[in-house]
Amino acid sequence: MTTQDSYNFKTEVKQLLQILVHSLYKDRDIFLRELISNASDAMTRLHFETLTNRDVLDADAELAIHIEVPEAAEGEPKRIIIKDSGLGMTKDELITNLGTIAQSGAREFLSKLGADETLDPSDVIGQFGVGFYSLFMVAEEVRVISRSYKKRAKAAAWISDGSEKFRVEPADKEDRGTEIQITLKKDAEEFANEWKLKQIVKKHSDFVRYPVYVGDSQEQANRQESLWRKSPSEVEADEYKQFYQQMTMDFEEPVAVVHFRSDAPVNLRALLFVPQKREPGILAARKEPGLMLYSHNVLIDEYNTDLLLNWLSFVDGVVDSEDLSLNVSRETVQSNRIMRQLAKTVKGRALREMKKLAKNEPEKYAGFWTEFGRAFKEGLATDLEAKEDVLPLFRYYSSKSDGKLTSLDEYVAQMPESQEEIYYVLGDSVKSVANSPHLDPFKARDLEVLYWVDPIDPFVSPMLAEYKGKKLRNVDDAGLELPELDETDEVETEDGLPEADFNRVIGRFVTTLGDRVTEVRASKVLKNSPIRLVSPEDETNRDMQRIQRILDQNYEVPKKIVEVNRNHLLIANLYRLIADSPDDKRINLTIEQLYDSALVQEGLHPNPTEMVPRIQQLLELATA
């Protein structure tokens, strides 16, 4: 007696099935692409299982995909059968994998459809881990028969017509793997054609790593040719795109493709990709960092992390070397001299491609830097040998870059002969540092200042002491010496407050701010700003102060030097208040606000919202 168990699909899967069962989408043949992709994944997982465990069912069976078109009697519906010799599934795994696990992916897929009514589901269904269900675009009924690689596991069948329920029952299957029997809809019987199936395989699955056999003759329909072993001149751009999408299930085109081959000093065939995003999607086919490592065109490590340094782990792809032994162990790989040479070559070519992108396509590189710049900064902070490689790739906004990113090389090339240092300013955003009072003397001298606004920049600054013989200098340095201004550009002091009057203002700053500052003094460089905060010359950790604030690790506002601009209208008005009404509340409120505003501009204020009551009080007094 056959025991059948009936189950309900999760709500999101039901909604997905409703769309697909009644779909008339233009590219319904993608169902085969998705099923082949799933079969390929199951066989890859089986391959890695057998590397450490030979006690599996049908251990020597060929890893392959078979597609059959059974002959149908007149009046009977036509069918397609797709078989693989992969990992297989138990009854419980069938229920989980085909009935419930796709819930989150279905939810995301439905959300994507809702946000873009013009979107064809066939274009993106594979991105959300719900590609299996695409077969309901063509299927009247689906029967999935599977047997796990575990020798004692029993075969089971999963049956669904795309409605709200599915059934699971025992099945007869002697060999390992999964068999999908598809009863086609009347309007999809065109797919019960061997020639058409071969064309679909050729179009969508030509580079699947396992053979795909179609029809009674079991002719191999895919080339299964290792793209990385071909000469780059023989490969079309669409082939790279197709291979990348099949490998990663990332449907965005890669930013860069690095395809090269070498026979000396080590045999090497490599095909590398730089993705659009640093973090892979939640349903990406490749979940971990690392390159696929082959020897003699045989996969020996699916996620090899020895070929690229951690900060380049976003690079994906394939490396194949005939100089590596097929039976090499992972421990041997890690200590292998050939591996070290491979790693050196792969890193060099990857970086060369990024430098090429930066030079030839600066706009495209700007997007790449926005996404991956932090990886290079992490490399500089964690790898002392990375400096020479990565610094030419660094990009910053600056006071003269007009909203575009600039390189350190471009900065140095534009420096006047009298300039001996590279200047940078730290802050929380481009807008905040663009209005920094520290820029006053640099604007007056037409000197460029780099904007360091990434939270990781303070971590990096100790490793960036110099570049091409030019010292890098924080503009808040109290001992900073700048080139002399022309006489016509000198900051006039005689129109400012007289010494005695200015000293009264300085004294009020001192009594108001107290021991929160180390000193209050006249500024020699400010032009358009009333005050600025500068670091004492003996302060050693000023670049880390922003990190401590961000991390909230026992953060205390650092004590700075306050420099006051005696020529600024606000300071002159403040003096008149002090002279005429020394007890006026506006005096201390204004000084406190100037100090807090300067802390915000420096990225050092622990909680800028604390300023709101004071600002309101100043407004009330100003409008009274």
Query: Which one of 91-105, 477-491, 526-540 scores highest in mean pLDDT?
Result: 526-540
pLDDT at 323: 85
List Cα–Cα distances, 441 to 69, 447, 604, in angstroms. Answer: 79, 8, 22
pLDDT band of 552, cuts 50, 70, 90: low
Q: What is the pLDDT of residues 206-261, one digit of tens each?
A: 878 899 999 988 889 988 778 898 899 999 999 999 889 888 888 889 999 999 99
Residue 126 CA to residue 260 CA, distance in Å, equals 29
Residues 45 and 61: their CA atoms lie apart, in Å, by 15
Q: What is the pLDDT of residue 103?
A: 56
The per-residue pLDDT for 409 is: 95
Q: What percent of the chain has pLDDT over 90?
A: 49
**23 pLDDT tier (thresholds 50, 70, 90):** low
- Phi/psi zone of residue 611: left (φ > 0), alpha (ψ -120 to 50 degrees), beta? alpha
- Is residue 412 a contact partner of residue 468, using CB atoms and an 8 Å limit? yes
Q: To the nearest 10°, the Cα dihedral for 588, 592, 593, 596?
A: 180
> What average pLDDT does range 174-188 have in this prediction?
95
What confidence score (pLDDT) does residue 492 get? Answer: 47
Q: Give the residue-averaged pLDDT of 567-571.
A: 94
| Phi, psi dihedral angles at 380 (to 5 degrees) | -65, -35
Rounded Cα distance between 528 and 522, Å, is 14
On the question of pLDDT at 513 being above 90, the answer is: yes
Sign, CA torsion 216/73/136/101: negative
Q: What percent of the chain has pLDDT over 70?
A: 87
* Every domain of the chain and the residues it spans: 5-220, 227-363, 488-622
pLDDT in tens, 281-306: 766 778 788 998 887 776 778 888 88
As a whole number, mean pLDDT of residues 11-15 equals: 76
Which stretch of DSSP H or E encloses residue 292?
A: strand 291-295
Average of pLDDT values for 554-583? 92
**65-68 and 212-214 strand pairing:** parallel
For 488-622, CATH gives: 1.20.120.790
CATH class given for the domain over 5-220: alpha beta
Whole-angstrom Cα distance, residue 351 to residue 275?
14
Q: How confident is the model at residue 493 (pLDDT cuts 50, 70, 90)?
A: very low
* CATH of region 227-363: 3.30.230.80
Q: What is the mean pLDDT of residues 465-475?
A: 90
Task: With a cut of 80, say whether residue 68 has pLDDT above it.
Answer: yes
421/449 Cα distance (integer angstroms): 10
* Confidence band of 102 (pLDDT split at 50, 70, 90): low
H/E element holding 121? helix 121-124
Measured between alpha carbons, how far is 147 from 237 in angstroms, rounded to an integer? 39
pLDDT of residue 302: 81
Residue 410: is its pLDDT beyond 90?
Answer: yes
Q: What is the predicted pLDDT for the residue at 301?
A: 80
Residues 208, 213, 219, 225, Cα dihedral to 10°: 10
Q: Are 122 and 108 in contact (CB under 8 A)?
A: no
Higher pLDDT, 27 or 569: 569
